[in-house]
Amino acid sequence: MAKIKLLVVDDSAFMRKAIENMVKKDPDIEIVGTGKNGIDAIEMVKSLNPDVMTLDIEMPRMDGLTALQKIMSENPLPVIMVSSLTTEGADATLRALDLGAVDFIPKEKSFASFGVMKIEDQLIAKIKDFSKRKTFFRKPVLARPSASTAKPAAPAPKRPAPKITSKKKMVVIGTSTGGPQSLQKVIPMLPGDLGVPIVVVQHMPPNFTKSLAQRLDSLSKLKVLEAQGKEKLEPNHVYIAKGGTHLKIKKMGPHFYTEVSTEPSSTLHIPSVDVTAASVAETIGRDALGVIMTGMGSDGMKGLQLLKLKGGSVLAQDEQSCIVYGMPRAVVQSGFQDEIIPLEEIFQRIVAYCK
């Protein structure tokens, strides 16, 4: 079996060595080259044809965003950005994800707070997952048909939808790897008069969830904000779980409020989809809709099982449209989903369940 070819581009010798030390423990991954700037990245992608690349953002001569844009237009492949955990780093990383990067890992000093072993395990798993999905990033070049030969595209077959027995009063969405890009194909597509609040759990550090909320808010008809705790849940508002804290829903009188907490601290991810979905299940139950989207691992499976057992409904993104089919697969394998649907149809189904 051929080894996975990894290209590492970073102006920091420390970071290049750190990534090398992390991945060399896995016999299936081979570092085929290292570069120091965006010019190196572009040239080495052409000459080495790697399966996956890690790419720094701030580099001399040519920065990572400029290089990424050129690479994704000419020789697209799965790219993992190396990002600082500052607000500026978060903004730049989200721009990189917009340009086609699949994910990011924290840079240098962040290792101590995140835990090197945790990053190591996740990086190896992501490299392996992304290498299998390499064709996902290849954009086919299609010849433009002439006016005389062009044929209208056949309409997609209609999928029979389950009977919706009750209008939902809240939506909870869980996602991880590939989530920022995928959320931009769901939240901005929803109407401004959806009529219900939405809570979103995206696995990200604190500054990143704030930048994500601001970006989605600028693109959406709904109001999108990072949950700080004690907010009254309002219709037509989207509450993004803050990185480093769990988002729970608490009922006080006839109203529901956000609650943020670092407990339980034992979960693999903080925020955790399981924690938020279980909270929604306990407070709202059958009147809630759960949506599980692209992401590595199984976070969300237990919480959405509870939601389903309480009478709620659950949608799972299909494998073909996921960057990583981990979290949706776990829900589907448990058998608790009502529908399995492609990314581009998720917003339509949310509207159907809520309106």
Answer yes or no: is 158 within a domain: no
Domain boundary among 91, 113, 137: 137
Q: Which residues of the chain fall short of a pLDDT of 50? A: 110, 112-115, 138-150
Q: Which amino acid is at 275?
A: V
Its pTM stands at: 0.89
- Same domain for 99 and 227, yes or no, is no
Based on the residue annotation, tell me whether 237 is a catalytic residue of this protein: no
Domain limits for position 334: 170-354
Which candidate in 83, 84, 131, 176 is catalytic?
176
Catalytic one of 10, 11, 56, 299: 299
pLDDT at 119: 77
299 has catalytic annotation = yes
End-to-end CA distance of the chain: 51
DSSP secondary structure letter of residue 134: G
Q: Residue 324 has which token pair?
A: 């990583």
Question: Are 205 and 350 members of one domain?
Answer: yes
Is residue 153 included in any domain, yes or no?
A: no
Angstrom distance (rounded) from CA 54 to CA 29: 13
pLDDT of residue 328: 98
Structure token pair of residue 347: 């917003």
Q: What tens digit of pLDDT does each residue of 210-267 get?
A: 999 999 999 999 999 999 999 999 999 999 999 999 999 999 999 999 999 999 999 9
Residues 316 and 249 in one domain: yes
Taking the C-alpha atoms of residue 188 and residue 207, their distance in angstroms, rounded to an integer, is 21
pLDDT at 136: 62
- Of 40, 56, 203, 338, which one is the catalytic site residue? 203
Is residue 109 one of the residues assigned to a domain?
yes
Q: Express each pLDDT in 178-201 by its tens digit.
A: 999 999 999 999 999 999 999 999
Write down which residue in 89, 113, 137 finishes a domain: 137
Which pLDDT score, from 0 to 100, does residue 87 have? Answer: 85
Please give the pLDDT value at position 20. 93
- Residue 148, phi then psi, degrees to nearest 5: -80, -25
Strand order in the sheet with 339-341: 223-226, 237-240, 198-202, 170-175, 288-292, 313-317, 339-341
Q: How far is CA 91 from the centre of its chain?
A: 15
Report yes or no: 105 and 119 within 8 Å, Cβ to Cβ: yes
Same domain, 332 and 198: yes
Whether 88 maps to a domain, the answer reads yes
Which of 343, 220, 223, 225 lies closest to 292, judged by CA?
Answer: 343
User: Residue 118's pLDDT is what?
Assistant: 64
CATH number of the CATH domain containing 107:
3.40.50.2300
- Tell whether 184 and 271 lie within a shared domain: yes
Number of domains observed in the structure of the chain = 2
| pLDDT for res 115 | 47
- pLDDT at position 122 is 86
Same-domain pairing of 256 and 328: yes
